[in-house]
Amino acid sequence: MYGRYTQELGVYAKEEAARLRESGQRRSVSRTLDLLEYNKGRCAKCRRSGYPYVLEAPPQDFISVCTVRCQKFLISRVGEDWIFLILLGLLMALVSWVMDFCIAICLQAQKWMYGGLDSNVFLQYLAWVTYPVVLITFSAGFTQILAPQAVGSGIPEMKTILRGVVLKEYLTFKTFVAKVIGLTCALGSGMPLGKEGPFVHIASLCAALLSKFMSLFGGIYENESRNIEMLAAACAVGVGCCFAAPIGGVLFSIEVTSTFFAVRNYWRGFFAATFSAFIFRVLAVWNRDEETITALFKTSFRLDFPFDLQELPAFAVIGIANGFGGALFVYLNRLIVQFMRKQKAINRFLMKKRLLYPALVTLLISTLTFPPGFGQFMAGKLTQKESLVTLLDNRTWAKQGIAEEFDYIGHSEAWKHPQVNVFVTLVLFIVMKFWMSALATTIPVPCGAFMPVFVIGAAFGRLVGESMAAWFPDGIHTDGTIYPIVPGGYAVVGAAALSGAVTHTVSTAVIVFELTGQISHILPVMIAVILANAVAQSLQPSLYDSIIRIKKLPYLPELGWGHHEKYNIRVEDIMVRDVRYITLNCSYRDLHNVLLTGHLKTLALVESTESMILLGSIERAQLQALLSLQLGRHRRLEYIRERALEEKKRLSVVSNVSSENISQRASQEVRFQISTEDSSLSPSRPVPQKPLKPALKRPSVVERATEIPTGPHDHSGIALKNLFCASPDTEALEEDVDVEDDMTIREITEWEEKQLDEQVNFNNCKIDPAPFQLVERTSLHKTHTIFSLLGLDHAFVTSIGRLIGVVSLKELRKAIEGSVTVKGAKVRPPLASFRDSGTSSSENEATELHKLWDRHKSMPLPREPTPSESDEKSL
Amino acid sequence: MYGRYTQELGVYAKEEAARLRESGQRRSVSRTLDLLEYNKGRCAKCRRSGYPYVLEAPPQDFISVCTVRCQKFLISRVGEDWIFLILLGLLMALVSWVMDFCIAICLQAQKWMYGGLDSNVFLQYLAWVTYPVVLITFSAGFTQILAPQAVGSGIPEMKTILRGVVLKEYLTFKTFVAKVIGLTCALGSGMPLGKEGPFVHIASLCAALLSKFMSLFGGIYENESRNIEMLAAACAVGVGCCFAAPIGGVLFSIEVTSTFFAVRNYWRGFFAATFSAFIFRVLAVWNRDEETITALFKTSFRLDFPFDLQELPAFAVIGIANGFGGALFVYLNRLIVQFMRKQKAINRFLMKKRLLYPALVTLLISTLTFPPGFGQFMAGKLTQKESLVTLLDNRTWAKQGIAEEFDYIGHSEAWKHPQVNVFVTLVLFIVMKFWMSALATTIPVPCGAFMPVFVIGAAFGRLVGESMAAWFPDGIHTDGTIYPIVPGGYAVVGAAALSGAVTHTVSTAVIVFELTGQISHILPVMIAVILANAVAQSLQPSLYDSIIRIKKLPYLPELGWGHHEKYNIRVEDIMVRDVRYITLNCSYRDLHNVLLTGHLKTLALVESTESMILLGSIERAQLQALLSLQLGRHRRLEYIRERALEEKKRLSVVSNVSSENISQRASQEVRFQISTEDSSLSPSRPVPQKPLKPALKRPSVVERATEIPTGPHDHSGIALKNLFCASPDTEALEEDVDVEDDMTIREITEWEEKQLDEQVNFNNCKIDPAPFQLVERTSLHKTHTIFSLLGLDHAFVTSIGRLIGVVSLKELRKAIEGSVTVKGAKVRPPLASFRDSGTSSSENEATELHKLWDRHKSMPLPREPTPSESDEKSL
Tens digits of residue pLDDT in A314-332: 999 999 999 999 999 999 9
Question: Would an 8 Å CB–CB cutoff place B614 in contact with chain A?
Answer: yes
Chain B residue with the nearest C-alpha to that of A557 = B264
Chosen for mutation from A241, A714, A792, A800 (greatest number of chain B CBs closer than 10 Å) is A800
Question: Would an 8 Å CB–CB cutoff place B605 in contact with chain A?
Answer: yes
Q: pLDDT digit string (tens) for A763-805? A: 777 777 667 777 777 777 777 777 777 767 788 887 767 788 8
Q: Which of A246, A510, A800 sits opposite B247 (nearest CB)?
A: A510
Cβ separation of A561 and B306 shorter than 8 Å?
Answer: no
Chain A residue with the nearest C-alpha to that of B282 = A309
Q: What is the mean pLDDT of residues A524-542?
A: 91
Cβ separation of B613 and A615 shorter than 8 Å?
Answer: yes
More confident residue, B602 or A156: A156
Q: pLDDT digit string (tens) for B358-408? A: 888 999 999 988 888 888 888 888 888 888 888 888 777 775 433 444 454
Residues of B in Cβ contact (< 8 Å) with A614: 801
Question: Would an 8 Å CB–CB cutoff place B114 in contact with chain A?
Answer: no
Q: What is the mean pLDDT of residues B242-270?
A: 85
Burial class (CB in 10 A: 0-12, 13-18, 19+), B287: exposed
| Distance in Å, alpha carbon of B374 to nearest chain A alpha carbon | 37
Structure confidence at residue B79 (pLDDT): 59
Question: Would an 8 Å CB–CB cutoff place A258 in contact with chain B?
Answer: yes
Chain A residue with the nearest C-alpha to that of B256 = A263
Question: Would an 8 Å CB–CB cutoff place A34 in contact with chain B?
Answer: yes
Structure confidence at residue A605 (pLDDT): 81
Q: pLDDT digit string (tens) for A176-230? A: 999 999 999 999 988 889 888 899 999 999 998 888 887 776 655 556 667 788 8
Residue A142 and residue A159: Cα distance in Å, rounded? 25
| Distance in Å, alpha carbon of B675 to nearest chain A alpha carbon | 20
Q: How confident is the model at residue B691 (pLDDT cuts 50, 70, 90)?
A: very low
Cβ separation of A801 and B607 shorter than 8 Å?
Answer: yes
| Distance in Å, alpha carbon of B168 to nearest chain A alpha carbon | 25
Residues of A in Cβ contact (< 8 Å) with B820: none
Cβ separation of A526 and B247 shorter than 8 Å?
Answer: yes
Burial class (CB in 10 A: 0-12, 13-18, 19+), B748: middle
Q: Is the ipTM of this complex over 0.90?
A: no
Q: Which of A520, A770, A802 sits opposite B798 (nearest CB)?
A: A770
N-term to C-term CA, chain B: 27
Chosen for mutation from B493, B802, B806 (greatest number of chain A CBs closer than 10 Å) is B802
Q: pLDDT digit string (tens) for B366-377? A: 998 888 888 888
Chain B residue with the nearest C-alpha to that of A715 = B611
Residues A377 and A424 sit within 8 Å (Cβ to Cβ): yes
Chain A residue with the nearest C-alpha to that of B218 = A564
Residues A107 and A190 sit within 8 Å (Cβ to Cβ): yes
| Distance in Å, alpha carbon of A285 to nearest chain B alpha carbon | 9
Question: Would an 8 Å CB–CB cutoff place A31 in contact with chain B?
Answer: yes
| Distance in Å, alpha carbon of A32 to nearest chain B alpha carbon | 10
Structure confidence at residue A529 (pLDDT): 94
Q: pLDDT digit string (tens) for A445-480? A: 998 889 999 999 999 999 999 888 888 877 777 677
| CB within 8 Å of A690: residues ≥ 6 apart | A680, A732, A733
Question: Would an 8 Å CB–CB cutoff place A712 in contact with chain B?
Answer: yes
Residue B666 has pLDDT above 50, yes or no: no
| Distance in Å, alpha carbon of B327 to nearest chain A alpha carbon | 18
Q: Which of B225, B281, B564 sits opposite A782 (nearest CB)?
A: B225
Structure confidence at residue A67 (pLDDT): 74
| Distance in Å, alpha carbon of A556 to nearest chain B alpha carbon | 13
Q: pLDDT digit string (tens) for B558-609? A: 665 445 555 567 777 778 877 778 887 788 878 777 777 766 677 788 877 7
Burial B351-380 (b: 16+ CB within 10 A, else e): beebbebbbebbeebbeebbbeeebbbbbb
Cβ separation of B801 and A614 shorter than 8 Å?
Answer: yes
Chosen for mutation from B29, B220, B303 (greatest number of chain A CBs closer than 10 Å) is B303
Chain B residue with the nearest C-alpha to that of A295 = B520
Chain B residue with the nearest C-alpha to that of A765 = B800
Structure confidence at residue A570 (pLDDT): 75
Residues of B in Cβ contact (< 8 Å) with A779: 225
Residue A428 has pLDDT above 60, yes or no: yes
Angle between helices B588-597 and B620-631 (to 10 degrees): 130
Please spell the DSSP secondary structure of B419-482, one letter per residue. SS-HHHHHHHHHHHHHHHHHHHTTSSSS-BSHHHHHHHHHHHHHHHHHHHHHH-TT-S--SSS-
Structure confidence at residue A574 (pLDDT): 78
Q: What is the mean pLDDT of residues A567-584?
A: 76
Cβ separation of A567 and B226 shorter than 8 Å?
Answer: yes
| Distance in Å, alpha carbon of A328 to nearest chain B alpha carbon | 21
Structure confidence at residue B864 (pLDDT): 36
Please spell the DSSP secondary structure of B719-734, one letter per residue. HHHHHHH-----PPP-
Cβ separation of A800 and B720 shorter than 8 Å?
Answer: yes
More confident residue, A597 or A855: A597
Question: Would an 8 Å CB–CB cutoff place A585 in contact with chain B?
Answer: no
| Distance in Å, alpha carbon of A382 to nearest chain B alpha carbon | 25
Residue A555 has pLDDT above 50, yes or no: yes
Cβ separation of B616 and A801 shorter than 8 Å?
Answer: yes
Residue A150 and residue A142: Cα distance in Å, rounded? 10
User: What percent of chain B has a predicted confidence (pLDDT) above 90?
Assistant: 17
Cβ separation of B513 and A519 shorter than 8 Å?
Answer: yes
Chain B contacts in chain A segment 56-95 (CB below 8 A): 79-82
Structure confidence at residue B410 (pLDDT): 61
**What are the strands, taking DSSP E only, across B245-393?**
260-262
CA quadruple A442, A445, A446, A450: dihedral positive or negative? Answer: negative
Structure confidence at residue B262 (pLDDT): 79
Q: pLDDT digit string (tens) for A238-271? A: 988 888 888 998 899 888 888 778 787 788 888 8
More confident residue, A397 or A203: A203
Q: pLDDT digit string (tens) for B458-467? A: 999 999 998 8
Residue A269 and residue A625: Cα distance in Å, rounded? 43
Cβ separation of B799 and A711 shorter than 8 Å?
Answer: no
More confident residue, B775 or B206: B206
Residue B858 has pLDDT above 60, yes or no: no
Q: What is the DSSP-derived secondary structure letter of residue A50?
A: I
Max Cα–Cα distance, chain B, nearest Å: 123
Structure confidence at residue A329 (pLDDT): 94
- Torsion angle in degrees (nearest 10) through CA of B617, B622, B628, B634: -130
Burial class (CB in 10 A: 0-12, 13-18, 19+), A733: middle
User: What percent of chain A has a predicted confidence (pLDDT) above 90?
Assistant: 16
User: What percent of chain B has a predicted confidence (pLDDT) above 70?
Assistant: 68
Cβ separation of A263 and B261 shorter than 8 Å?
Answer: yes
Other residues' Cβ atoms within 10 Å of the Cβ of residue A98: 13
Lowest-confidence segment of A523-532, B316-325, B865-874 by average pLDDT: B865-874
Residues of A in Cβ contact (< 8 Å) with B570: 31
Q: Which of A42, A292, A790 sits opposite B307 (nearest CB)?
A: A292
Q: How confident is the model at residue A486 (pLDDT cuts 50, 70, 90)?
A: confident
Q: What are phi and psi of B500, to 5 degrees?
A: -65, -40
Size of interface A-B (CB pairs under 8 A): 285
Q: pLDDT digit string (tens) for A32-76? A: 333 333 333 333 333 333 333 333 444 556 667 777 777 666 666
Structure confidence at residue A327 (pLDDT): 94
Question: Would an 8 Å CB–CB cutoff place B563 in contact with chain A?
Answer: no
